[in-house]
Structure formats: structure tokens, C-alpha cells
Amino acid sequence: MKVSKEQNAYNRDALVAAASSLFQKQGFAATGVAQISEEAGLTQGGFYGHFKSKNLLVEAACRQSLAKGHDSWRAMLGSAGNDLETLIDAYVSSAHVEAIAEGCPMAAYTCEIKSQDDAIKDTFTHGFENMVGLLQEVLAADSVDEAARRNALFFMCSMIGSVAMARATRATDPQLADEIIAATRENLKTVANSPCS
């Protein structure tokens, strides 16, 4: 039986959503096509009707989750008095540490990207640059372009690193994980409100 265009699009979206969640929780290598297909409610044959290879799905899932994160940040701007603090609070939080499947893919994928193919690396790098660019926009209101770029890179990497480290230590030392988040958030806000930043 022929599948409608709408159902075909729905099935593809289901595969990307399932893959994104599983990749972020388990990693690329530990997540197989069969598991992704089952999570999406499809057969493996259905999977290959949409993606010729797992790598193409990794690229699509990475692109979608990075775009979702960027859109989420964009929607937060202007919602409070200090956009930078709003972004810091949203990202550097215990809730984000615990929401691995729905959280930022940069904190989930960082260590795995280096072993992926060039298309996936390019997608990840482009997504990272978009997030840095958004931070740079926020920072540009208070500093020159060169300083805004430098600070945007600093803030982005500090935020990603703190969430990744808190996730890595949470199971064995939850107190340390909470301390990482609290210290990073406090120090980033101090830098954000420094007249020299």
C-alpha cells in the first residue's frame, strides 16, 4: 500500500525525533537502526526508505536539535531585563543537566563529533557557530564586535562544558554535579556584569 506524502513526512520526522533523543541519551555508536526504528514505530525497512545510512540520520538529527536549541534561545530574548543572564539561567541549570534527551546536543555530542564523518562535523560546527552568533548579538550591545565574539565563545564553551561535566559526574557524586552548575552560573553572571567584559 502506498504511503501518503503526509504520512511519509510524519514517519521521517518520527525517525529524526527518536534518533535525536536516543543519540543524546546513549551516543551515536550505542544507538542502532533497529532501536531507532522501533522507537519511531517503524520497521528497519521503513528506516531505509527515508535514510540510506545511519550517518545521514545522525546529520539530520544533529541539524534539527541544534536548530531547535537556537530557536529556543531566540524565543527567550527580550523576555526579561537581562538577556545574557536569562540564557545562562536556562542553560546552566540542574533541569538542563537532567534533560539529556531534550537538552542541548552540544553538551551531549561534543566528545563524539570528532569521530564522525565530515558532513556531521560540518553540521555540528555550523550549529555551534549559530549559537555563538546569537550570544554575540546579545553581547554586542555592551561591547565592541571583537570583544563580543571573544566573550561569546567563552560563555558558550563554559556553558557547554559545565553541563557536560555535571552530567558526567551526577551518577557518582550528585553534590559535585550541583556544585559545578552553581559555580559556573555564578561566575558567568559575575563576568557578564563586569564593566570590563
CATH code, domain with 68: 1.10.357.10
Whole-number Cα distances in Å, 144 to 80, 148, 194: 23, 6, 15
What gap in Å lies between CA 155 and CA 196, rounded to an integer?
Answer: 15
What gap in Å lies between CA 146 and CA 152, rounded to an integer?
Answer: 10
Cell of 3: 504511503
Q: Residue 96's domain spans which residues? A: 5-192
Query: Is 197 within a domain?
Result: no
Query: Is 175 within a domain?
Result: yes
pLDDT, one tens digit for every residue, the chain (197 residues): 566 888 889 999 999 999 999 999 999 999 999 999 999 999 888 888 899 999 999 999 999 999 999 999 999 998 877 899 999 999 999 999 999 999 999 999 999 999 999 999 999 999 999 999 999 999 987 666 788 999 999 999 999 999 999 999 999 999 999 999 999 999 999 998 876 55
Query: Is 108 within a domain?
Result: yes
Our count of domains for the chain comes to: 1
Query: Is 33 within a domain?
Result: yes
Tell me the whole-structure pTM to 2 decimals: 0.89
Query: Is 105 within a domain?
Result: yes
